[in-house]
Amino acid sequence: MKPSPGTDAAGYGAREISRMLGLTVAQVRAWVRSGFLEPERGPHGELRFSPHDLAVLRSARGLAGARIGPRRIERALSRLREQIPGRDSLAALEIVAEGRQIVVTDGSARWQPESGQILMEFENVAGTGPTDLHPLQSRGNVSALTPGRSRRAREEAGVSVDSWYERGCELEETDPEAARDAYARALELDPEHADAHVNLGRLLHEAGDAAGAEAHYRSALGARPGDATAAFNMGVALEDLGRDLEAIDAYETAVAVDPGHSDAYFNLAGACERVGRPAAAIRHLKTYRALVRSRSQ
């Protein structure tokens, strides 16, 4: 779709996006404030959304229409950005809700972005009737499907892990305690489910159990070393536990994975100042300010 006459060719404005997608301008701006969308700025500072942004918002609107919660949508699409290289490549994907599951198709594969689990369709023995979706392997996560178990047992375990994980995502806003239980059940089936460790760690931290949170963040990093979110969250937990030197190591891991992680640089500055490293604190604070300034331009 091309911009309408009189619209800056650099992209679409917030009001134009809201008309095309049936969203309010406030809803569009809320996605921007969350940090999930990073539109360009026009000559007068106005928001300019690219075709990529339009595609992502269209997918988010479709998932919301299927009664998928907003936090779960943001989490799934953020995870998808990590799984698919290139900003514009997301626009070519089909992102839909199948029951309570979010499923992505790129023309050659289907997978669940939240767990990274690839899905494959199998026809039944008679070759008629609906196909069943079975987990095949994992995109970016260690699968629950381990050697030495029957095929049926492996398939059932994979489905159960996803079911418990998705239940945890759905319950976070309304019943955090039940969400923690759901993530724990997922981890009983797959102890190396990094996303479940991250989410359970965050919920424990929010409940005041920083030590329990740290353990889950470490487990997430053990399963997925390149997880900037797990490293950053662990740094926060370690700060709360009074272990600034270890927190610095965690934040440095986060920025090594994601050099644009401004919050990690800000926290690094504070931790370095507390342990008597003023030069490092000033350097990290400058990096933080530069990152924030570049996003506001």
CB 267 within 8 Å of CB 251 = yes
By three-state DSSP, how is residue 40 classified?
strand
- State residue 129's pLDDT score: 38
Give a yes or no: residue 131 inside a domain: no
Give a yes or no: residue 256 inside a domain: yes
By three-state DSSP, how is residue 24 classified?
coil
Q: Alpha helix (H) ranges present in 47-118? A: 51-65, 70-83
**CA–CA gap between residue 64 and residue 52 (Å, rounded):** 19
Give a yes or no: residue 120 inside a domain: no
- Each residue's pLDDT tens digit, 217-272: 999 999 999 898 899 999 999 999 999 999 999 999 999 998 888 889 999 999 99
**CA–CA gap between residue 157 and residue 181 (Å, rounded):** 17
Query: Counting runs of H as helices and runs of E as strands, what totals does the chain give?
Result: 12, 7
* Domain end marker among 84, 117, 140: 84
Domain count, the chain: 2
Give a yes or no: residue 237 inside a domain: no
CB 143 within 8 Å of CB 154 = no
Q: Please report, for the domain that includes residue 281, its CATH number.
A: 1.25.40.10
Give a yes or no: residue 152 inside a domain: no
By three-state DSSP, how is residue 172 classified?
coil
CB 147 within 8 Å of CB 169 = no
pLDDT < 50: residue spans in the chain = 1-9, 121-158
Give a yes or no: residue 60 inside a domain: yes
Q: Which structural domain range is residue 72 located in?
A: 1-84
CB 120 within 8 Å of CB 133 = yes
Residue 123 token pair: 């026809």
* Domain end marker among 36, 69, 84: 84
* Domain end marker among 84, 105, 128: 84
Across the chain, the runs of DSSP E, i.e. the strands, are: 40-41, 47-48, 94-98, 101-105, 110-112, 117-122, 132-138
Residue 201: CB atoms within 10 A of its CB come to 27
Give a yes or no: residue 189 inside a domain: no
**CA–CA gap between residue 11 and residue 22 (Å, rounded):** 18
Give a yes or no: residue 43 inside a domain: yes
Q: Please report, for the domain that includes residue 27, its CATH number.
A: 1.10.1660.10
